[in-house]
Structure 1
Amino acid sequence: MAKDKKAPRPKAATPKGFRDYFGAEVTGRQRMLARIAEVYHRYGFDALESSAVETVEALGKFLPDVDRPNEGVFAWQEADEDGQGDWLALRYDLTAPLARVYAQHRNDLPTPYRRYAMGPVWRNEKPGPGRFRQFYQCDADTVGSASMAADAEICAMLADTLEAVGIERGDYVVRVNNRKVLNGVLEAMDLTNDAQRDAVLRTIDKFDKVGEDGVRQLLGKGRKDASGAFIDGVGLTDDQAGPVIAFLTSRGESATETLDNLRGAIGASVTGAEGVQELEQIAALLDAQGYGPDRIVIDPSVVRGLGYYTGPVYEAELTFEILDEKGRTRQFGSVAGGGRYDDLVKRFTGQAVPATGVSIGVDRLLAALAAKGRTETVERGPVVVTVMDRSRMADYQAMVAELRQAGIRAEVYLGNPKNFGNQLKYADRRASPVAIIEGTEEHERGVVQIKDLILGAEIARDATLEEWKERPSQFEVARADLVAKTREILESHG
């Protein structure tokens, strides 16, 4: 009789495009999010935690098709009696759920509704280096206000947030533009062919990479890229391309100069004039609050979500230099972006509802802080109470309880206590700052040994024999002084 084959063991690996986060990574993110939330809360925004799962219909952006129902999002169909249940999906951002929440609860919410949200989002896209299918976003939005004061406030709050988490002034700039100005430029070009308009928009989006000459060539006959391959251009004449070049190069020494240049780029376009006027209002409001060009600037080169945003758009760019994976120097780049999207809630209500907001890429911002040396790479572990006599576990648990009640992170060693050396190795692996030792002899005398593991490691690494004698790293104190001496050692290490 043949033996039944054993089921293969599951492979211990994360799915492609996903990763695990440990210790310092998790607490570092939580610490940063808490600082961001503090700024948002100070600005009057309320927290919102919406469902991680939405109907695909509500998400709207990535609708499933017959051949690839999971395109863009992680989606599945609910089973019902007829096999025709709703399509559900993990949220791909925090803005689409906000539109659904506002439409669903608008009668119970204040207008304007100011909310912030933080959490993971999921995208069923091809992963790459530093690009994962699950990542954190941190959003703040105002729904129900058409005032440019709402947009100016978002920009000011974004600047304050970057500084609150540790990005110093001078290491970032918030750049502001307006989609209406770009629409005005397209009107001034008098393009009637939709395909040509789309090609112009795609070319504008390449300005940061190819510069003025590159855009000029791509708007005309085309250009060779870095590999030597020829890229066909849009086919515009120099006169037709003129408004685009004027638009992209209109940034001046001041907001006033930039706005004057933009007026020249839009020609007689009413839409463009409205966009310039909105930028003028935002600039004046920011200036009144003390946000100068060292923090926030009007910059026509900002082009975001061309089919999504309806007015002002903004982007936070970190300006300090880092080395990329090939050792080349480059600027860190964008960590946040947003803008006005007045048509999103309309999908649910049929009525236009003005809205504006910003989204911070949490992982990008954490990477920026790490690049500036402003994150802890190793998290401080708990105080470890060692076990010298397993029959006295209750005594050791009492020590831990006292430490915890005093607000000190602590644990009892719960492994096999037979080998004391292994207990200290465990404490080292946990990055513990202090180890508590109480054997039978110490217990009888009413004392404990407190070992400063941080100082001990420094002495072992750097100190001479004489320095080691002068700087003891282990102290004997009365049992009643356990908490006080432990706190003293912890405070000595910050």
Structure 2
Amino acid sequence: MAKPKKTPRPKAETPKGFRDYFGAEVTQRAEMLHKIAQVYHRYGFDALESSGVETVQALGKFLPDVDRPNEGVFAWQEDAEADKPGDWLALRYDLTAPLARVYAQHRNDLPTPYRRYAMGPVWRNEKPGPGRFRQFYQCDADTVGAPSVAADAEICAMLADCLEEVGIDRGDYIVRVNNRKVLNGVLEVVGLNKDFPEGNDLRGTVEAAYSKVMSQSLMKAINADDVLRTIDKFDKVGVQGVFELLTSGRKDQSGAFIDGVGLPEKDARIVLNFLTAKGSTNADTIANLRKAVAGSEIGNEGVDELETIADLMAAGGYGSDRVEIDPSVVRGLGYYTGPVFEAELTFEIQDEKGRPRNFGSVAGGGRYDDLVKRFTGQEVPATGVSIGVDRLLAALQAKGRMSAQAEGPVVVTVMDKARMSDYQAMVAELRQAGIRAEVYLGNPKNFGNQLKYADRRASPVAVIAGGDEFDKGMIQIKDLILGAKIAESATLEEWKDRPSQYEVARGDLVAKVREILELNR
């Protein structure tokens, strides 16, 4: 008789594209979210916690298909094997699509405008990579139902305040603002308009409009999205690189040739005039943008909106050193309908090869007036921002503003198991005084292991008391942080000047521990 096969043990490993977060990472993220939430709340936004699961139909962007129903999201079908299968459901991929559903569903009970903030994990079924995970935190604030660009200006001011609240110094960041309408105006000037009835390809009825700027012999199908994607490479390839990609093409660093979009040089230079319109002041930039979109009604409307935002920022004390008009900001252009903004950290860090580079973007957003329309059939103006919490934490660590390891608890060691009630009384006093503390609950037989445990917990202080100390009403308090420094490099004189272990009266426990903690901060 064959032996039954043993059930294999499961592998103790995180799924691909996911990771576990421990101690300091969780605590620091929670503290950062709290600080950002305080700013959002101060601006009058209310908290919203929506479901982590939405119907795929409500998410909209990733509708299921027969071959790959979960493309882009983690999705499943309720009662898939039943005669009448249920809805397709998915983990949310952002916090904005759920907001659109919530507002459409509860709009009769919500104020207009509706101002909400939300924080939590989102999930993307995408290929993971270095620093790119399938689950990550977003921290959003949005205003729904306000058509005025004053709402966009307020988001920009709030974003600047959030960065400073969490510890990013003024001068180490810039909030950059552009407008999708200005981009549409540039496309219109060169004969490309994403709103043509035939779509983005220049063919059929579009030929008449495009023939104004391109001879018939050069006519070819040019996609406006290709132009936008090329514009988005401005930061990477520069002016000449964008020019080559807009026209005939260029060789990349590996020597491979990349085909160009096919714009005539004249039109490519119009696009470049737009990209390089940034001046020394917001006023200069706006003047340059007006020249770039001359003759385009939608383009001038976008410039007017940028001018209003700049004026409102200046009135609130947010100069161009904090919020600036920047035509090179290109983000989610198939999604946004008006102003777009991005927060960039401007200080340098070193990459994995030791080369200096700017830290880069940590937040972005913009106006999206069409999202709620999917549910209501009516256009509902909306604008918002999403802050990358994990990116911000990494930035603060890179600046030395945040340790990768949080301070651990005070550890009350156990010298005599029969006196456990005395140890518990000490740790209770520390906790009631607001000091993080714990009693060692492992095997107390080896005292050295207790101190090793305290080191692994990054404990700043160890409390030591045995029978002799209890009889005298005294306790020993060991400064573990100073002790570690002395062990590394301190001289004998320095050690004598400030010893790392003290004997104090039992009644002075809290006061002495607090004194040591303050000295080490």
Class of the TM-score when normalised by the shorter of the 2 chains: over 0.9
The corresponding residue for 2:103 is 102
Change (3 A) 1:319 1:463: closer
Q: CA deviation at 1:78?
A: 1.0
The corresponding residue for 1:177 is 178
Give runs of aligned pairs for residues 141-156 of structure 1, distance below 5 A. 141-156=142-157
| CA-to-aligned-CA distance 1:58-107 (integer Å, 9 cap, x gap) | 11111121111111001111117425111111111111111111111212
Q: Is it true that 1:194 corresponds to 2:193 in the alignment?
A: no
In 2: Cα distance, 1:366 partner to 1:338 partner: 19
In 2: Cα distance, 1:323 partner to 1:181 partner: 35
The one-letter amino acid paired with 1:369 is L
Q: Is it true that 1:85 corresponds to 2:86 in the alignment?
A: yes
The corresponding residue for 2:217 is none
| CA-to-aligned-CA distance 1:425-453 (integer Å, 9 cap, x gap) | 11111111111122122222222222222
The corresponding residue for 1:308 is 335
The one-letter amino acid paired with 1:4 is P
Q: CA deviation at 1:481?
A: 2.0
The one-letter amino acid paired with 1:340 is R
TM-score, length-scaled by structure 2: 0.92
The corresponding residue for 2:60 is 60
The answer (yes or no) to whether the contact 1:455–1:473 under 8 Å persists in 2 is yes
Deviates further, 106-115 or 139-148: 106-115
The corresponding residue for 2:440 is 413
Q: CA deviation at 1:466?
A: 4.3
Instruction: Please give the secondary structure, in 2, of the residue aligned with 1:391.
Output: helix
In 2: Cα distance, 1:329 partner to 1:442 partner: 55
Question: Structure 1 regions of 5+ residues with no counterpart?
Answer: none
The corresponding residue for 2:317 is 290
The one-letter amino acid paired with 2:151 is A
In 2: Cα distance, 1:369 partner to 1:465 partner: 36
Q: CA deviation at 1:110?
A: 1.4
Q: CA deviation at 1:328?
A: 2.2
Deviates further, 191-200 or 343-352: 191-200
Deviates further, 29-38 or 283-292: 29-38
Q: Is it true that 1:212 corresponds to 2:239 in the alignment?
A: yes
Q: CA deviation at 1:2?
A: 2.7
In 2: Cα distance, 1:301 partner to 1:72 partner: 28
Deviates further, 224-233 or 277-286: 224-233
Determine which of 254, 265, 272 is the counterpart of 1:245.
272
The one-letter amino acid paired with 1:2 is A
Determine which of 431, 444, 452 is the counterpart of 2:471.
444
In 2: Cα distance, 1:478 partner to 1:330 partner: 54
The corresponding residue for 1:75 is 75
The one-letter amino acid paired with 1:152 is A
The answer (yes or no) to whether the contact 1:247–1:262 under 8 Å persists in 2 is yes
Give runs of aligned pairs for residues 311-350 of structure 1, distance below 5 A. 311-350=338-377
Q: Is it true that 1:13 corresponds to 2:13 in the alignment?
A: yes
Change (3 A) 1:455 1:327: closer
In 2: Cα distance, 1:162 partner to 1:10 partner: 43
| CA-to-aligned-CA distance 1:22-71 (integer Å, 9 cap, x gap) | 11111121222222112111111111111111111111111121111111
Instruction: Please give the secondary structure, in 2, of the residue aligned with 1:302.
Output: coil
Change (3 A) 1:5 1:187: same
In 2: Cα distance, 1:453 partner to 1:327 partner: 33
Instruction: Please give the secondary structure, in 2, of the residue aligned with 1:253.
Output: coil
Change (3 A) 1:479 1:107: same
The corresponding residue for 1:228 is 255
The corresponding residue for 1:479 is 506
TM-score, length-scaled by structure 1: 0.97
Instruction: Please give the secondary structure, in 2, of the residue aligned with 1:17.
Output: coil
The corresponding residue for 2:384 is 357
Q: CA deviation at 1:307?
A: 0.8
In 2: Cα distance, 1:212 partner to 1:378 partner: 43
Q: CA deviation at 1:235?
A: 1.7
The one-letter amino acid paired with 1:286 is M
Instruction: Please give the secondary structure, in 1, of the residue aligned with 2:9.
Output: coil
The answer (yes or no) to whether the contact 1:28–1:376 under 8 Å persists in 2 is no
Change (3 A) 1:472 1:212: closer
In 2: Cα distance, 1:474 partner to 1:63 partner: 65
The answer (yes or no) to whether the contact 1:322–1:332 under 8 Å persists in 2 is yes
The corresponding residue for 2:215 is none
Q: CA deviation at 1:461?
A: 2.3
The one-letter amino acid paired with 1:37 is A
Question: Structure 2 regions of 5+ residues with no counterpart?
Answer: 202-221
Instruction: Please give the secondary structure, in 2, of the residue aligned with 1:121.
Output: strand
In 1: Cα distance, 2:477 partner to 2:377 partner: 69
Instruction: Please give the secondary structure, in 2, of the residue aligned with 1:8.
Output: coil
Q: CA deviation at 1:470?
A: 4.1
In 2: Cα distance, 1:9 partner to 1:223 partner: 53
Q: CA deviation at 1:472?
A: 2.5
In 2: Cα distance, 1:254 partner to 1:490 partner: 47
The corresponding residue for 1:133 is 134
Deviates further, 424-433 or 454-463: 454-463
In 1: Cα distance, 2:178 partner to 2:121 partner: 28
Runs of 4+ residues deviating >6 angstroms: none
Q: CA deviation at 1:295?
A: 0.9
Give runs of aligned pairs for residues 42-57 of structure 1, distance below 5 A. 42-57=42-57
Deviates further, 74-83 or 337-346: 74-83
Deviates further, 342-351 or 384-393: 384-393
Change (3 A) 1:470 1:305: closer
Instruction: Please give the secondary structure, in 1, of the residue aligned with 2:308.
Output: helix
Q: Percent identity?
A: 78
In 2: Cα distance, 1:403 partner to 1:458 partner: 25
Q: CA deviation at 1:479?
A: 1.9
| CA-to-aligned-CA distance 1:108-140 (integer Å, 9 cap, x gap) | 211111111111111000001111111111111
| CA-to-aligned-CA distance 1:269-289 (integer Å, 9 cap, x gap) | 111111111111111111111
